[in-house]
Amino acid sequence: MTRTVTGRRSVAKAISYRTIIMSLDFVTIYLFTGAARVALGFMIASNIYTTLGYFLHERGWARIKWGINET
């Protein structure tokens, strides 16, 4: 049995994860600053590069065999 992880799965996981993180980013920055525009700007900027980073991280780990038990 061969186990593969598709790029589409990684994209779906990245999108769902980033949606949660974007919401948390916005709320946290808004609570600290009280400024919705600052919170929105931070949320957008940080999530552009962190989404790409997460996707690349996920694809890298998909190639590592360690910790995967095939049955």
Q: Domain spans of the chain?
A: 8-62
CA–CA dist 60, 55 (Å, integer): 9
- Residue 57 binned pLDDT confidence (cut-offs 50, 70, 90): very high
Tell me: pLDDT of 40 over 90.
yes
Integer CA distances (angstroms), 5 to 15, 63, 67, 68, 69, in order: 16, 9, 15, 12, 14
Tell me what pLDDT residue 1 has: 66
Q: What's the whole-number mean pLDDT along residues 35-40? A: 96
Helices (H) and strands (E) counted in the chain, each on its own, are: 2, 0
Q: Which amino acid is at 3?
A: R
- Segments of 9-53 assigned E as strands: none
